[in-house]
Chains A and B, each alone.
Chain A
Amino acid sequence: MGISEILFWILAALTLFSAVMVISSKNPVFSVLWLIFTFFTISAHYILLNAQFLAIVNIIVYAGAIMVLFLFVLMLMNLGKESEPKKNRWLKLAGAVAGGSLLLVMVAALRHTENQMTELVTGDIGLIKNLGKVLFTEFVVPFEISSILFLSAMVGAVVLGKRDKPVENLITPAVAADEVAVVSIENRDV
């Protein structure tokens, strides 16, 4: 076993462990923190595959931005062990069946793939130079379309946010509280 193989096994174990912790933690804040940890281990896998760009973008986008928003929401809702709703037993069963069938499909799909070895450390498609070239030449149309998709999502969010609503419906009470304070001070001055 080479050093990268040892690293792979350690990382794989860590990834699976943290992924299981995500769904088995009672407190949703802990779930999010485990999820962040999972993203880190996945990024480490990317580094093993010599795809540094993917690794760091995974951390910037998922661990650094999206998970912060998750944390925001969860911290403000302050869900505890008590507030976890009791789920219907049939619903649980249905969930188990659905998850099991997904696992079955995936195993069946992967079982007959050719026995390809991953290019450990040697591949260079994940390096920023090659990835940039491929994205902006071969796949430029899908790339641009997906960027338009993001733009439309952003515009949609702004439109929703711009709509006049009572202050307590804002997403972050911290901002709302500050705005209320500001508004009241301004009113007093007038």
Chain B
Amino acid sequence: MYLLQFDWWIVLEKFILIAVIVTTSLVVAMYSTYAERKVAAWLQDRRGPNRAGPFGLFQPLADGVKLFMKEEIIPTASSSTLFILGPMLAMITALMTSAVIPWSWTIDVAGRMVPLQIADINIGILYIFGVVSLGVYGIMIGGWASNNKFSLIAALRGASQMISYELAMGLALLAVLMLVGDLRMSSIVGEQIANGWNVVYQPLGFLIFFICALAECNRTPFDLPEAENELNFGYHQEYSSMKLGFYLFAEYIAMFMSSVLLATVYFGGYDIPFVNEAAWGNYWWVGLVGFSVLMMKTSFFIFLFMWIRWTIPRFRYDQLMHLGWRVLLPLALANMVITALVVLLLNNK
């Protein structure tokens, strides 16, 4: 038939890939909650969850069941469409980043070369900017639709915080862009495999990106939208049951995605340093090795996020804005200008 004449294998391939990646993200986010509690317990000299299953490994499942079983309340004075839309948007925007991340080497499945990346679009980095800038909506809509002044203030805080830190984040990424000279995520990783990791060339950029990632995920020390001693509970105060679960879960997914991005953009993605994996061929196990390496780097960053959360106290709101606009933004600008100059000089020698 002429109507739908295209390669159906691509559709199947991408469909499987999307299913696998989304499931992985959800499982990682689920066990991040467990890891968070274990890390917190470890840092505070406690045991942490240890009742459900061996070492408390079924704790996330128990939490999930609990959240599903709780009573679902939609406040009468709220705008119910938006009230339901809020957590959905938070979840969707958190998951959307995964589309452009190269997860591993291209593998050979029955004669077909399958790249383990959902979409290698030629605007990969800009796509990430876009998704990051949309992350505000879940919080804003949920906070406003709750019709609660604390939720609204928290939502506005969250939004202004995200807008402020987005800029420095974007500028830090632009410096990487100048080094690589391409916006594709796959070529960013490829460049790093060839010339060494970006963190070596962009230490300041990495630091700025990392701090901004903390702020974008609303993690301590930047968890002002949830500052419970000022705002009761934050933007999701009126939420109950799995809608609340979605907000909390979306935060962990965002953390996972930020960690993957940090690993991909600055730490070589699925590359093992000083090993030439490309010579191993396109077997499925090479793909698995690459994916495991990426996950190891990611776990390290997730651990770092948690370590910071249980170590550093929360910023005050004016300090947060000060850091974002008067420290990080000028630093990121300087970093960008210096990178541009160096790249120009090296290319003109």
Interface residues of A (CB under 8 A from B): 1-3, 6, 27, 29, 33, 36, 52-53, 56-57, 59-60, 63-65, 68, 71-72, 75-76, 127-128, 172, 174-175, 177-179, 182
Contact = CB atoms under 8 A, between A and B. Distances in A.
Contact of A68 (B6, B163, B183): B163
Contacts of B144: 29, 71, 75
A175 B163 CA distance: 14
Interface of B is mostly: helix
A76 B152 CA distance: 8
B318 interface: yes
Contact of B160 (A33, A60, A172): A172
B136 A68 contact: yes
B136 A75 contact: no
B133 A172 contact: no
A71 B82 CA distance: 13
Interface stretch (B55-63, B124-132, B192-200): B124-132
Given A56-B126, A72-B160, A175-B317, 15 more contacts: A3-B6, A29-B79, A29-B144, A53-B123, A56-B127, A60-B126, A64-B130, A68-B136, A75-B144, A75-B152, A75-B155, A128-B126, A172-B160, A179-B318, A182-B316
B156 interface: yes
A56 B156 CA distance: 25
Contacts of A71: 137, 140, 144, 159
Contacts of A177: 153
B157 interface: yes
A29 B155 CA distance: 15
Nearest to A57: B126
A13 B94 CA distance: 28
A165 to B, nearest CB: 17
Contact of B134 (A64, A76, A179): A64
B122 A182 contact: no
23 contacts: A1-B3, A2-B3, A27-B79, A36-B137, A56-B130, A59-B134, A60-B126, A60-B129, A60-B133, A63-B130, A64-B136, A65-B133, A65-B163, A68-B163, A71-B144, A75-B152, A75-B155, A75-B156, A76-B156, A174-B160, A175-B317, A178-B318, A182-B317
A128 B183 contact: yes
A174 B137 CA distance: 17
Interface string B94-129: 000000000000000000000000000111001101
Given A71-B140, A179-B318, A52 B122 contact: yes
B199 to A, nearest CB: 25
A36 B163 CA distance: 17
B140 A182 contact: no
B122 A60 contact: no
A177 B154 CA distance: 12
Nearest to B129: A60
Contacts of B279: none
Interface in B139-186: 140-141, 144, 152-153, 155-157, 159-160, 163, 183
A64 B140 contact: no
A128 B123 contact: yes
A77 to B, nearest CB: 11
Given A52-B123, A53-B126, A178-B318, A64 B153 contact: no
Contacts of B141: 33
Contacts of B152: 75, 174
Given A59-B134, A68-B136, A76-B156, A182 B123 contact: no
